[in-house]
Amino acid sequence: MSEPTIALVFTPDPWVEEVHRHCTDHGGARVRQVLIDPALALEEQYDVLVVSHRWSALTHGFVDDVRDRGCAVLGVYDREEPAGRELLHAVGADATVASDAGAAGIVAALRALHGDSHADAHRRTHEDTASPTSAPLTVVSGPTGAGATEIAIALAITCGPRAFLVDADDVAPAVAARLGLPLEPNIRGAIDAVEHTGDGLEVAMLTVGALRIVAGLPSVAAWPQLRPPEVLRLVHRLAATSSRVVVDAAGSLEDLPVAMARPRHALARALIGEADDIVAVGAASPVGVARLLAWVGNVRALAPRTPVHVVMNRAPNDAFRRGEIVEEITAAFPVTSVSMVPEDRRVVAAAWAGSPVARGAFTRAVVRLERALEAPGVEMREAS
């Protein structure tokens, strides 16, 4: 058997350095990386992740992410801490070994695990049953300031009592502020419920009437706390019990590197890539159209085949200007529908009241948008 490549999670446990030195001096395995940030474990290619039960990032969802990439997880526990071994089993580690087995014993355990991992992966592939039908994931976004949050709220309400609204905007979260909701519970608590306990998701939600809401971060400074895989698992969990999951996502899609494992706008990019439908909200003005077209160009690079429904917010009333906007958009990109949402004084009144928009021209336009989402493959030039 060839030497497995491993990712070794750095913790203060003495065995971590001992295993690293043993592999360097005596072989048995090749250390591909020593990591602290969990995101790095999902970027490099290796065979086995070796991790202590003390690592705070070790959750059931994280282990699932690692295994989905074809890698195995070996958990190392302290024999004097029985809860450590129980935790490793609870999160789904493929195998466990006591730290007092020494570096040679840990390497032997990971080599044995590597030998079984291919057969296990094959067996899991063939034993998987069909997953339950999930509700569509609709991502609402667009250039900053165009009104995507208002459209997302109204669309989620229009989709009925079995829909969810998730504020996953890590640049300018606004759903809670718009609806006068408290800062907690929010998306962090919902993610913790999915990642650690697997239940209790209901207590992490807020409601406005019949609408169920996962509020956004209380501060944009907390954006590094939202790992894209965790957010995607959350929305998929919601999709298993709903009619549609509407996600309000950040409009910035640029791949901006920062001094950490993932780019600044990785979450928005991941949501766009995973969406079943994308609602692109732009301002109905010459500058707004130009910004929207640039944004849709970024979307098409990430999701070339996902249906895109364009919403021009605060649209003019005259047919000539509306027609000019529609022609400009459809000449640049093939889109599934173009909806015109007019100015409506009820939107301003609702914003001051912290409530959903009352019935009127705005809500009627959103109803037409919802019908366009429910009619896949039917091209609509203008839902007006």
- pLDDT tens track for 160-191: 999 999 999 999 999 999 999 999 999 999 99
The predicted model gives 323-350 an average pLDDT of 95
- Together in a domain, 226 and 358: yes
CATH code of the domain containing 63:
3.40.50.2300
- Together in a domain, 67 and 185: no
Cβ neighbour number for residue 205 with a 10 Å cutoff: 20
Determine the Cα–Cα distance for residues 249 and 230; give it in Å rounded to an integer. Answer: 15
Cα-based distances in Å from 331 to 84, 293, 335? 60, 10, 10
- Give the chain's end-to-end CA distance (angstroms, integer): 65
Residue 132 belongs to a domain: no
CATH code of the domain containing 292:
3.40.50.300
What's residue 197's pLDDT? 64
Decide the pairing of beta strands 277-283 and 137-141.
Answer: parallel
Final residue in a domain of this structure, among 95, 127, 159:
127
Q: Is the pLDDT of residue 132 over 70?
A: no
- Together in a domain, 111 and 144: no
Residue 194 belongs to a domain: yes
What's residue 381's pLDDT? 54
- Together in a domain, 117 and 154: no
Average pLDDT, the chain: 89
Q: 193 pLDDT band (50/70/90 cuts)? A: confident
What's residue 129's pLDDT? 37
Count up the domains in the chain and report the number: 2
Domain region containing 74: 5-127
Q: What is the DSSP string of 322-378?
A: HHHHHHHHHHHS--SEEEEEE--HHHHHHHHHTSPPPSSHHHHHHHHHHHHHTSTT-
Residue 383 · residue 340 · CB < 8 Å: yes
What's residue 122's pLDDT? 39
- Together in a domain, 171 and 110: no
- Together in a domain, 13 and 91: yes
Residue 181 belongs to a domain: yes
Cα-based distances in Å from 204 to 93, 177, 246, 300, 378? 27, 17, 17, 33, 37
The predicted model gives 303-314 an average pLDDT of 96
**Is-cis flag, bond preceding 185, omega within 30?**
yes
Final residue in a domain of this structure, among 127, 161, 194:
127
Determine the Cα–Cα distance for residues 198 and 203; give it in Å rounded to an integer. Answer: 13
- Together in a domain, 345 and 283: yes
What's residue 318's pLDDT? 92
Final residue in a domain of this structure, among 96, 127, 158:
127
Q: 91 pLDDT band (50/70/90 cuts)? A: confident
Q: Is the pLDDT of residue 369 over 70?
A: yes
- Together in a domain, 100 and 222: no
The predicted model gives 345-360 an average pLDDT of 96
- Structure tokens that stand for 307 in this block: 């249906």
The predicted model gives 57-72 an average pLDDT of 86
Using DSSP's 3-state secondary structure scheme, residue 100 falls into helix
Cβ neighbour number for residue 21 with a 10 Å cutoff: 12
Residue 292 belongs to a domain: yes
- Together in a domain, 99 and 67: yes
